[in-house]
Structure 1
Amino acid sequence: MFYDKKAPELIQLEKSYDDGIINKDEYSAQKAILKEKYSFVGFTNVRRFLYAIGLPVALFVSSLLILLSTFIKHRLIIYAIRCMSIPFVITGAYFITWTLWDRQDFPESIYYTTITLLSIVITAILYYIFKIISKDFNKLETLRQQLNPLKRNIDFVSDLADIIPETSETVSYKAMTSVTSEDLKENLGKIEETLND
């Protein structure tokens, strides 16, 4: 699946120089002309670049979507999706890096090792970012689910304050219950407003 990043003319020019058909000055001059002619990220034209990067970008985006789907609560599904998404992210990051990075400055083994390590690092960083986001999202969702029972309890305390008879023995308790339920309603309203923003 590796695409040839060198223009055919450049390959032929290098072969001519290696075979001794042209000298160093001719090689340098023709190489400068070819570099100007084929200068889009090491590809012969934008169309080839888009062709080469299209599949890796699609793979990378798809893998991110799979990774984001870990918001699902079922543990077995979460584990399966997580296990499947990590190799996809590594592969996508690898091919995007391979497409954008011209390897002419490095030996081939260092080039591929560096890209592989970079892909793994990018994947680890993305994994931990999504893990933090997912953890915070799950906490907020748990808080949101607990609001309805809390609202019922507040309404119960409020209703209790309304039905307590006003006698000398219960006046202070009724006042305290009424003030407490109003404070709780106000605090609950603020929490709901914050969660809905």
Structure 2
Amino acid sequence: MGWLSFGSTKTEIPPSQPQPPVQLQQRSHSQLTAPISEYPKDTQQYQNSLNKEESDIEITLNQLSHKQLSSNATTDSPTTSASTNINVEQINGSKSPEEISNTVSQFIENYPISNLFIIDGEKDLKKSIICTSNNDGGKTCLKLQMNSIELFKIMQKNEFFCSLPNDVDATYFECRKIQ
């Protein structure tokens, strides 16, 4: 249903003044096409800071070194501790995806069902990590030559539910066994 105004007078709207072009800045994970010297100064600083950033896996290991996560899967809030004992084992990249999947499954089976597992990976790269609390009060981690999406699928196949933690600064997934 529409409204038509018969008999009203037509008023002209004066043309508006031309607006100066708006300077847009692209903030992206992918490389920008123009040389960095042509970017506005704050974009150059942002791009330089991106080049100095740690990888996602390094950030996760730093976050885990400052937090001692509870090994009880029913507890949502991590308890803070000064523990920095993180044992990281590098898995050979020449293994097939099936061998890596079996390695992850064996790693999971070595710990109680109530353990919380942390997974993370580099975007668009075959680099990921899985960590959990060990009996010594520290962390044990496997660095894998596998895409993080594949690691996520392996965790689902092993009947784990993975979700983002309550911590807004966290860059990893927490995985709990579905019981």
Q: Structure 1 length normalisation: TM-score?
A: 0.23
| Larger relative helix fraction | 1
Larger Rg: 1
Q: Relative contact order (C-alpha < 8 Å, sep 6+): which is higher?
A: 2
